Each structure stands twice: as structure tokens, then as C-alpha cells.
Amino acid sequence: MKKTTPAAKVGQNQGVQGKTKNLFGGLSKDLLLQIHELMVKSRILEERLIKIYRAGESFFWIGGPGEEAWGVPLGLLPRKGRGIEYDFFHLHYRCTPTMVALGMPMIEATRLMMNRSTDISTGGRNFSGHYCFPQWNVAPVTSPIEVQYPIACGTAHAQKRAKAKAISIVSGGDAGTAEGDFASCLVWASRRGQELPLLITVQNNRWGISTSYQGQHGEESIANRAKAFEIRARVVDGNDPIESYIAIREELDYIRRTGKPSFIEASVSRLYGHSSASGANFEKGDFDCVREFEMKLLKAGVLTDSRVKELWRQYEAEGVAAADQAR
């Protein structure tokens, strides 16, 4: 039994024709436009949340601008739904792009940001980015980093027992992999004969707050640590939505087919710094995947200037309306 979401089906049908075909990995125009739109929506949402913080209407912001190219495909490809037959998400606090791709309206992130009692994730208790959507198997995001990794082994274990060919997906940052919980996850996911249907991902932005990757890691890539447990592992350019999409699709297929875990390390940007605690200012020198992808699509004629303008206008308006409503 192999289920795919409609989005994944679009991707597998006819790709963009001619010269641009290789450029876009054979993904269809509709899919490319969908990915672009969701990336834009997620970026605008995060920038709105930062504005809410700046206006003094919230105490703290943390989120995922700079991770759209990775996070959007991660929300599009899995089997979305509630219960053990569907894929589980164990996300961290930078996964707004994945939530937007799953279908989260801006108002939900905004209520969470403004700690309203109407916030469906935490009822005004927790910080921004701490999503919890049981209807899509989105497990509660926790502030303690890395605990989601062994928890994900549990849902994967239950999924394996249910023989539903469903997968658990876990994500976190590079610095967090120093925690023992990360190692525990690799151990539990890879026991011989008892492997778990788990997609283990690490978004490597090369920072843990103010500690840089260089000073903390002896291993060449975090993916190498998964290889030591015989877990299939690779590093992808998480700033490239096409590469991310194809890699996630391949690994989800592999896990559904074999029931074994797989590991993806994605290089991403941390475009507004760690959080509002470090100012939440735009990092000018860093790769901006939304702008770059947009330019690439424009150049290839997949996207038009007027559509770009319209999208940014439309989602700006949704963001403003959401803030007004949450207020």
C-alpha cells in the first residue's frame, strides 16, 4: 500500500517542460507555484509576528524565517491526518513553514504569538512556534530541545505495530544534537530487526544561539553520526526547495517501503537570528531562499511579476487581518 498526498502526485506527473526541466528537478509548474506560494506565506507570517513583537504586543518571538525551502516540502509530502494511520510530526520551534504547508491559517500562529486564550495550540501559555495540532498529528513543540527525538521513536514504534505504513517525522536544530536524547533516538531507531519507520531530520543553521557550529563539532556532518548506526543518511541544501522536496519524497518512499529509518541533514539559514532575545534583525549576508527561489522562477518564466506582487499583497493583508482579529 502506497499512499501519496495530492501534492506529491502533482510532482510526479508532468514536469516543467524544455530547458527548465532540469533546473526544477522535473517538478510540475503547479507544484513549483504551490511551493513558492507557501514559502511566501510563511515568510510574511513570520515577519508579521516579528512586527507584533516589535510593537510590544508580545513578549517573545522565535520562528523559522530562512527555513521555508526545507520546511514547506516537509509539510507537503507526508500523509496528513489524525491517528496512527497517518504520519506524525515532532517539530521544533522553527517549523512555521511546515505548519503553513500543512494548512495552518495565519490566525493560529498569531493567537499563539499574542498568547490569547483562543490560541488552539497552548491557550496562551507558551511561546510562538510552539504548535500543537492533533488533527494533523502535530505533537506539541517543546521548549526543551531534543526531547522530541526519543518521543518520535515512540509514535514510530506504535505505527510499526499497527502495520499502517505510517511514518514519524522528527526535526530539530544542529546544536541540540549534543544532547543525549539525540543519541538515544539513533539507538532506538536502528535496532537490528526492530528498525523504526522514522524520518530523522536536523536543520543545520550552524548556530546554537550564539555558539557557532565550527567550535562545537568534530564530525564532518551530523549525518555521519546516523551512518554510524547504519541509518541511511544524507545532507541536502535546505535552501533549495527542489532538492529538499525530492530528498524528502525519496526518503519517505524508502521508509514506507522498508520500515527502516532515514536521516536528512538540511543546511538552512537563520535569517532573523536566534529569537527576539538577540534582536530578531534580518541577517543581510545570509542566503534568502524565498527571494532566490522567486527570482529563479521569474527568470524561467514559471512565475510572473504580477503574481508575485499579488501574492505578497494578499498575504500581507491576511497577516494584518489576523493581528487585528487576535487583538
Ligand X SMILES: Cc1ncc(C[n+]2csc(CCOP(=O)(O)OP(=O)(O)O)c2C)c(N)n1
Among 6, 18, 56, 144, binds other proteins (CB under 8 A): 144
Q: Residues 29 to 88: which contact ligand X by CB under 6 A?
A: none
Residue 37: all three cell numbers together: 506560494
CB 185 within 8 A of CB 152: yes
Among 144, 193, 215, 285, binds ligand X (CB under 6 A): 144
The item of Mg ion, other proteins, ligand X, none sharing an interface with residue 115, based on CB under 5 to 8 Å by kind, is: other proteins
Q: Least distance in Å: CB of 238 to ligand X?
A: 12
What distance in Å separates the CA atoms of residue 202 and residue 197, rounded to the nearest whole number? 17
Q: Least distance in Å: CB of 202 to ligand X?
A: 8
Using the rule CB under 8 A, is 281 a contact of other proteins?
yes
Secondary element (H or E) of residue 235? strand 232-237
Using the rule CB under 8 A, is 125 a contact of other proteins?
yes
CB 63 within 8 A of CB 280: no
Number of chain positions touching other proteins (CB under 8 A): 22
Using the rule CB under 6 A, is 90 a contact of ligand X?
no
The item of other proteins, ligand X, Mg ion, none sharing an interface with residue 184, based on CB under 5 to 8 Å by kind, is: none
Q: Are strands 207-208 and 211-212 parallel, antiparallel or unpaired?
A: antiparallel
Distance of CA 166 to the CA centre of its chain: 18
Q: Least distance in Å: CB of 279 to other proteins?
A: 5
Residue 292: all three cell numbers together: 532566490
Using H for helix, E for strand and C for coil, what is the string for 240-296? CHHHHHHHHHHHHHHHHHHCCCEEEEEECCCCCCCCHHHCCCCCCCCCCHHHHHHHH
The item of ligand X, Mg ion, other proteins, none sharing an interface with residue 78, based on CB under 5 to 8 Å by kind, is: none
CB 126 within 8 A of CB 112: yes
Among 14, 143, 224, 304, binds ligand X (CB under 6 A): 143
Our CB check for other proteins shows the closer of 131 and 293 to be 131
CB 111 within 8 A of CB 42: no
Strand partners, 89: 138, 169
The item of ligand X, other proteins, Mg ion, none sharing an interface with residue 176, based on CB under 5 to 8 Å by kind, is: ligand X
Q: Least distance in Å: CB of 143 to other proteins?
A: 3
Residue found under cell 510593537? 55
Residue found under cell 543581510? 284
The item of other proteins, ligand X, Mg ion, none sharing an interface with residue 257, based on CB under 5 to 8 Å by kind, is: none
Our CB check for other proteins shows the closer of 105 and 279 to be 279
Among 121, 205, 239, 269, binds Mg ion (CB under 5 A): 205
Tell me if residue 11 falls in helix, strand or coil.
helix
Q: Residues 206 to 245: which contact Mg ion by CB under 5 A?
A: 207
Give me the DSSP letters along 128-156: TT---BGGGTBPPP-SSTTTHHHHHHHHH
Tell me if residue 166 falls in helix, strand or coil.
coil
Sign of CA dihedral 175, 176, 179, 183: negative
Q: Least distance in Å: CB of 323 to ligand X?
A: 25
Per CB under 6 A, residues contacting ligand X are 94, 143-145, 172-176, 205, 207-209, 274
Provide the binding-site residues for other proteins, judged by CB under 8 A: 59-60, 115-117, 122-127, 142-144, 147, 179-181, 210, 278-279, 281
Q: Which residues bind Mg ion (CB under 5 A)?
A: 173-175, 205, 207
